[in-house]
Amino acid sequence: MSKQLQFKLVLLGESAVGKSSLVLRFVKDQFDDYRESTIGAAFLTQTVTLDDQTTVKFEIWDTAGQERYKSLAPMYYRNANCAVVVYDITQAASLEKARSWIRELQRQADPSIVIALCGNKADLAARRQVSEEEAKKYAEEEGLMWAETSAKSGEGVHEIFTAIAKKLPTTTSPSARGGARTGAAARTGVDLNKQAANAPGQNEPCNC
Amino acid sequence: MSACPRGASRSLCKTRFHLEYLHLQILSVISAEQLRRMFERRMNFDLRRLLSGAEPLMHSLLTRIEWDLAMSTSSLHCLKVEPMLRKSIADALVPTSKIKDILYVILVAEERVITLVRPKKHSIHPSDLHVLINTIHAPSIMNSSAAASWLPVCLPKYNGSAFVNAYVMFLRRDAEMQPSQKDGDVESSPQAGPTTSSSVQSNVPKPSREICLMCVSGSADFEAVRSWCDTASQRLTNDGLLLALSDAMDRRETEYTVADLGIPGLRHFVYKSRPNVQVTMPLFEDPYDDLKERRRLITLYQRLYDAIHAKSGQGSTLKLQYIRTERESVMGWITQFFELYIALSPRLPKSAAINAANAVARWVQKEDKRLFLRDAPVF
């Protein structure tokens, strides 16, 4: 008997590591050489068919990587079943950023959240600054899924999302989670004036 | 067209107006409150870091402001739509009482407003709307493959210290339209040098043919907003309203030309309904389909605007300004109910200009339900 499961997935990571490109490859199997920065967050869906007659529909929030949006991230990961934290293998600093996202997820997100660490731009291995060993070791220590991908060539993209789909619980009904999320999300609602305090970037120290 | 004090130079006023709008766009990204705090902490704070990724918004705003007469007249620009269709669409977009903190529901096509549903107590300031329209047409949103975007945005005139959220859904995208931009091929114009003509034409702002549903909410509960927007867009589809609108756009019924008015010598006009704070205008046709010509006309309109605004107190009932150049004659006319700017053949006498202005005003008032958004539902 076939069944369809539905999960919420959030993409996090520093700006320009290729989050939107990764999603575009996954959802449309396309790649643009030049992409403008994401503003706010983009919502996409994609369905993955697993071997055993099961399909998994991902509801994806592709978030903007800029610092000023950082304080909005909890809105997206709070109800997420899985998170893909992306870094750029040619930028060592982007792995540091990924680590800080993972720490935040481990502290603040639902404890059952499935986290995948994803080293993108694998096609640029010649300019690699992050070794596979280093990232893999870190992922193992933290109990994360890990893969390198290239949104440009498509390498590893479908595989990582499928691996996540397989790792997500097939027994607990995701619709039950869906029911729970409304309450949780409603709590995040704030009146307009109070929301100013939640403004993006507000908690960020001036790093200039 | 910011009101320009007499004596101040036109270019100075124009620069000031552009800077003011740029400031509003920056505030939409980081809010007045944050900006104030940043500069309190450090006078020499480099704003570029905080604005990174938002640069395309600034660039598109500056292009837009050069050409968009709704911006320069501080007005809304509505899409010409049959009144029944506009009403049915608006009715389909009134939020249910279950969903909280909705500020505006706006349907936009061709970068113009079809309807705007709002709470009784809040109207929208035109510049907030222009900042929103500019934002949703950013390439990263409009050209995205995403089903929707969720944008924290500060509407400076509404509340400069708070962020609201805009849920943005393109119900139809530019690319999905039949190719029709190609009908005026450069090669087909005999006298124009192809290279100069094409280089000029390439800068003319392209009309975008998208349909976009935008829901601005004070709440951060995007799941609630998303599910409501999904339902609303389904309703537009199921009731055939989206198709009717899309067809009207494809048949070019959402635009009009001066020929529709049948006024001899009339080349173009801009009519602002003052009570509605809305403008309407025909397409820019020959000679104003050419970028340089159009820029010249817009500059003339701006001169008229400055003249009739700088001189007139709000209570005055009638002010006229007439300018004749070698290429055209233009006239600006302000009354309690409207502002009108018309461009005519320079060969016509001034008396003909006045007759033409009267005829335009009559025509617009007759068509006003199609041209303007009136009695949009409030909740």
pLDDT for A138 beyond 80: yes
A30/B145 CB distance under 8 A: yes
The CA distance from A72 to the nearest CA of chain B, in Å, is 9
Taking the mean position of all CA atoms in its chain, how far away is CA B271? Answer: 13
Question: Same domain, yes or no, for B130 and B246?
Answer: yes
**Segment holding A118, helix H or strand E:** strand A114-120
Taking the mean position of all CA atoms in its chain, how far away is CA B88? Answer: 22
A41/B57 CB distance under 8 A: no
ipTM: 0.82
What's the pLDDT at B43? 87
pLDDT for B373 beyond 50: yes
Give the integer Cα–Cα distance in Å for A160 and A145: 9
Question: Same domain, yes or no, for B99 and B50?
Answer: no
| Boundary residue ending a domain (B218, B250, B282) | B250
Residues 19-58 of B with CB under 8 A from A: 29-31, 33-34, 38, 41-42, 45-46, 49-50, 52-54, 56-57
Provide the mean pLDDT of chain B: 87
The pairing of strands B278-280 and B76-77 is parallel
Question: Same domain, yes or no, for B66 and B80?
Answer: no
A41/B226 CB distance under 8 A: no
Do the domain assignments include residue B192?
Answer: no
Whole-number Cα distances in Å, B98 to A188, B79, B166, B224, B228: 17, 30, 18, 10, 10
Q: Which residues of A touch B220 (CB under 8 A)?
A: 75, 185, 188-190, 195, 198
Mean pLDDT along residues A184-189: 36
B220/A38 CB distance under 8 A: no
Question: Same domain, yes or no, for B106 and B243?
Answer: yes
Question: Same domain, yes or no, for B280 and B310?
Answer: yes
Domain-wise residue ranges, chain A? 3-198
Crossing angle for the helix pair B241-250 and B83-92, to the nearest 10 degrees = 140
pLDDT for A39 beyond 70: yes
Q: Which residue of A has its CA nearest to B152?
A: A40
Q: Which residues of A touch B41 (CB under 8 A)?
A: 206
Do the domain assignments include residue B317?
Answer: yes
Do the domain assignments include residue B223?
Answer: yes
The CA distance from B146 to the nearest CA of chain A, in Å, is 5
Give the integer Cα–Cα distance in Å for A24 and A149: 13
Give the integer Cα–Cα distance in Å for A75 and B355: 59
Give the integer Cα–Cα distance in Å for B319 and B309: 9
Give the integer Cα–Cα distance in Å for B278 and B98: 31
Question: Same domain, yes or no, for B349 and B297?
Answer: yes
B52/A181 CB distance under 8 A: no
Do the domain assignments include residue B376?
Answer: no
Question: Same domain, yes or no, for B265 and B221?
Answer: no
Instruction: Provide the pLDDT confidence category of residue A58 given band limits of 50, 70 and 90.
Output: very high
pLDDT for B115 beyond 50: yes
Return the CATH superfamily for domain A3-198: P-loop containing nucleotide triphosphate hydrolases (3.40.50.300)
Whole-number Cα distances in Å, B15 to B4, B292, B306, B308: 11, 19, 14, 20
Do the domain assignments include residue B183?
Answer: no
Question: What's the token pair of residue B153?
Answer: 């945005």
Q: Which residues of B touch A189 (CB under 8 A)?
A: 100-101, 219-221
What's the pLDDT at B294? 96
Task: List B166's β-bridge partners, or say none.
Answer: B151, B216
Alpha-helical segments (H) within chain A: 19-28, 73-77, 92-108, 132-142, 157-167, 174-188, 192-195
B162/A196 CB distance under 8 A: yes
Question: Same domain, yes or no, for B105 and B141?
Answer: yes
| Cβ atoms within 10 Å, residue A208 | 13
B12–chain A Cβ distance below 8 A for any pair: no
Amino acid identity of residue A103, one-letter, is R
Q: Which residue of B has its CA nearest to A193?
A: B162
Question: Same domain, yes or no, for B214 and B83?
Answer: yes
Mean pLDDT along residues B130-147: 91
Q: CA angle, corner A198, sides to A8 and A80, nearest 5?
A: 10
Q: Which residues of A touch B154 (CB under 8 A)?
A: 199
3-state secondary structure B267-330: EEEEEEECCCCEEECCCCCCCCCCHHHHHHHHHHHHHHHHHHHHHCCCCCCCEEEEEECCCCEE
| Boundary residue ending a domain (B72, B99, B114) | B72
What's the pLDDT at B203? 53
What's the CATH number where B345 sits?
3.30.450.30
Contacts of B342 (CB under 8 A, 6+ apart): B266, B268, B269, B330, B331, B333, B353, B356, B357, B360
What's the pLDDT at B50? 86
Query: What is the percentage of chain A residues whose pLDDT exceeds 90?
Result: 71
On the CB side of B41, CA atoms within 13 Å amount to 15
What's the pLDDT at A71? 87
Give the integer Cα–Cα distance in Å for B336 and B110: 29
Question: Same domain, yes or no, for B280 and B141?
Answer: no
What's the pLDDT at B221? 86
Number of separate domains in chain B: 3
Question: Same domain, yes or no, for B267 and B160?
Answer: no
Do the domain assignments include residue B344?
Answer: yes
Do the domain assignments include residue B345?
Answer: yes
What's the pLDDT at B185? 39
Instruction: Provide the pLDDT confidence category of residue A208 given band limits of 50, 70 and 90.
Output: very low
Domain that holds residue B208: 76-176+200-250
Instruction: Provide the pLDDT confidence category of residue B377 given band limits of 50, 70 and 90.
Output: confident
What's the pLDDT at B329? 96
Give the integer Cα–Cα distance in Å for B113 and B214: 11
Amino acid identity of residue B216, one-letter, is V
The CA distance from B306 to the nearest CA of chain A, in Å, is 36
B138–chain A Cβ distance below 8 A for any pair: yes
Decide which of A118 and B34 is more confident: A118
Crossing angle for the helix pair B32-41 and B10-30, to the nearest 10 degrees = 90
At B115, phi and psi to the nearest 5?
-155, 160
Question: Same domain, yes or no, for B68 and B123?
Answer: no
pLDDT for B110 beyond 90: yes
Do the domain assignments include residue B339?
Answer: yes
